[in-house]
Amino acid sequence: MMHRTFCLFFGLLGLVAPTASCFAQTVPRQKTLFDNDWKFHFGHAADPQQDFDFTVANIFSKSGKAVGTAIDPRFADSTWQTLQLPHDWAVQLPFVEVDNFDVMAHGYKPVGGLFPETSIGWYRKHFQVARADSGQRFVIEFDGVFRDSQIWLNGFYLGNHPSGYTGVAYDLTDYLRYGEANVLVVRVDATQYEGWFYEGAGIYRHVWLHQYDPLHIPLHGVFVHAKVEGPQAIVTVEASVENETDTPVEGTVAAYLLDRDGKRLAESKADFSALPAHDTQTVVQHLTLPTPHLWSLDDPYRYRMVTEIQRNNKVVDRVETRFGVRTIEITPDRGMFLNGQHVMLQGVNCHQDHAGVGSAVPDALQYYRIRLLKEMGVNAYRASHNPPTPELLDACDSLGMLVMDENRLLNSSPAYLQQLEDLIVRDRNHPSVFMWSIGNEEPSQTSAIGRRIAQTLLQKQRELDPTRTSTYAADLANVYKGINEVIPVRGFNYRHEGVAPYHADHPEQPLVGTEMGSTVTTRGIYVVDSIRGYVPDYDSTHPWWSSTAEAWWTEAAAHPYWMGGFIWTGFDYRGEPTPYAWPNINSHFGVMDVCGFPKNIYYYYQSWWTDEDVLHLTPHWNWPGREGQPIKVWVNTNAETVELFLNGKSLGTKTMPRNEHLEWMVPYQPGKLEAVALKDGRKIRKKMETTGAAYRIVLTPDRTTLTPDGRDATVLNVSVQDKKGREVPDAQHLIRFSLDGTGRMLGVGNGDPSSHEPDQCPDGQWQRHLFNGKCQLIVQAGTQPGTFTIGATAEGLKAASVVIQMP
């Protein structure tokens, strides 16, 4: 296929009045969510008969030959499970104790080569396409399948996509049966891991069916970027035009710049002539935006660019692209600037799973997690260590969160170069993405091979997106070899003691902490428990290769050449249990647990990453049987001084050192522990009381109104109170849930890194123990307006309920 580029500059355009014909045409392009009514069944990696004869039937001898297998469109799948995507079958499996490092690292789930009976999944989808649409093009797009997917339509093989993290699309047009039943079949092979952490299994992201005219803009075929020049911005639109007809065509590409309310701000139109049959051209246009409203962390404003193709004065395709206008400046000595304002990166690393749902995270939960991080003071998110789901980036765009978007593997072979290209082309319109990462902690990072691979990847990045730069996450201290010689921004994984000498030796290279801290803590636990695999909830315990939060942040905050850094990690995640193995099934690294409940270290960061009044005491004050014994009390605050009281008696006043914390050893007495802090001449108070016995359940929903689309979801956090309304921090009751109405329960969790309770309860008996006073339920909307009621009961406790509205 031949590619041509037409660069057209239209000068300084003022405000342009809308023209009557712009949006009057009916445009055939459609994007349909393809998540509902899939059939699912396990195959078998070692037994062909249980794998529907996949490896013994000669399905590749003739095109479309699939007789008698699950690939055959006539195959009877009525007994298969019916489900809705996204779907992660691994989260539904029981935990298994196996002495194998990779199984341990993936959270002790029976997925991988040792478990052939639960590592192959088959999906089938039945659908129809109207005969009237037979002149259109149809493309199926999978946002993410873990992993090694093979796909067929009506028995015809579409292709294979090994990656579990980049999306893939296939043109279905030649194989469709118009006006008749079509069957899409996906075989997912999760016998091989890609990471060393929980990855899930199955079609765990959305699937979309695209329909458009043979003359169209291909998927991700529009790149919008802006350059601020004084009081205005020059917005560049690069639009690919694809002609999938059998004759040359002529036409125009029009670009319309709209504000958030849909008001036309600028427009441009370019001709393309004699676009050959089955060819693609890229049309580049420039529009002038006076007084741009800049995208920022506190005001994440986005514009819309509408790109239309017209042929014979008729609109045949239209694509709408959301984008933001902002400037990023990265310096070697002063850090990073967003829109000319200095920004210290207060970032977190995150894997993509959540309690109850594994990797099949509902869109609403992406927004919930980003809001939790912003409340802590986080302003940057590193997608570790793979391309994120598109909805995560949408959440960061709309809520104001910078993103370091990371490539999966450092490899320049055609397959992996294509993965990098897919990542960049898909994500480069997101204003939240401020930097690319080409890889993480690769064995070849100090070698000449690593350097050459990095140079190839960097060249591809600059070709596809010259508006951003790249880093690489190196677990090396003051080392300037291999990748570090060519990477534009030096990334440090831990080894923060090596940052200062590296900067002194290489003052011209900007640097950022790509992984920092890595304290291990268990929410609500204050002693070492090697039997259950718990570590104290203080900023005190860390692996040999990492540091406490306080150690790295005091260093970074004191030196302007740091861009800041990303904590390992924002949330606990499944797999990679550290420092223990079984019974641990998830990590302890999170500032929050897998449900998003804060640990003590959360308040350290919130103290120094926000301007809010923060005063936090830890631990709780329920210690029966420990009367008279010393309890280590930590205070996190951004006040100047703190005085601590026990039952009204002062235990002394201490000055709060910048970026640190305060400690007291307090002999336990039941009653009230209170801190009184002085900040800017104001008193701030926080108390911790010994509670009575648990009396009632409290359900706290994130939202009580959902869209009745079958996709929207909300989180209900569960706690218990005593008769005086005080939250009981050490309660461990079993909470049972019920749902009355058209919604559905998706998953449960409690943040216990050693809990082996099921995350999903297909038998209908939904329940979860509290872990140190808390657990969580995730529910999803139905498809019809109405209400549903969530109930929560426990033996000996007053029940609770919440009504969810779906107007």
Half-sphere exposure of 495 (CA within 13 A, CB side): 19
Known active-site residue 194: no
Count CB-CB contacts under 10 A for residue 682: 9
Q: Is the peptide bond before 753 cis (omega within 30 degrees of 0)?
A: no
Count CB-CB contacts under 10 A for residue 803: 12
Strands 207-212, 402-406: pairing is unpaired
Question: Annotated catalytic residue: which of 141, 441, 485, 727?
Answer: 441
DSSP state letters, 614-672: -EEEES-S--TT-TTSEEEEEEEESSSEEEEEETTEEEEEEE--TT--EEEEEE--SSE
Residue type, 462: R
687 three-class SS: strand
Half-sphere exposure of 195 (CA within 13 A, CB side): 25
Known active-site residue 244: no
- Give the residue from 658, 525, 570, 116 showing the smallest Cα distance to 354: 570
How many angstroms separate the CA atoms of 286 and 238, rounded?
9
Burial letters for 631-664: b for 16+ Cβ neighbours within 10 Å, e otherwise? bebbbbbbbeebebbbeeeebeeeebeebebbeb
- Token readout for 113 is 């080569």
Question: Annotated catalytic residue: which of 515, 550, 555, 576?
Answer: 515
Angle at which helices 600-609 and 549-557 pack, to 10 degrees?
10
- Token readout for 406 is 């990371």
217 three-class SS: coil
Residue type, 376: M
Q: Is the peptide bond before 579 cis (omega within 30 degrees of 0)?
A: yes
Q: 208 and 201 in contact (C-beta within 8 Å)?
A: no
- Give the residue from 371, 374, 253, 393 showing the smallest Cα distance to 315: 253
Q: 98 and 114 in contact (C-beta within 8 Å)?
A: yes
Count CB-CB contacts under 10 A for residue 145: 31
Tell me which residues are annotated as active site. 441, 515
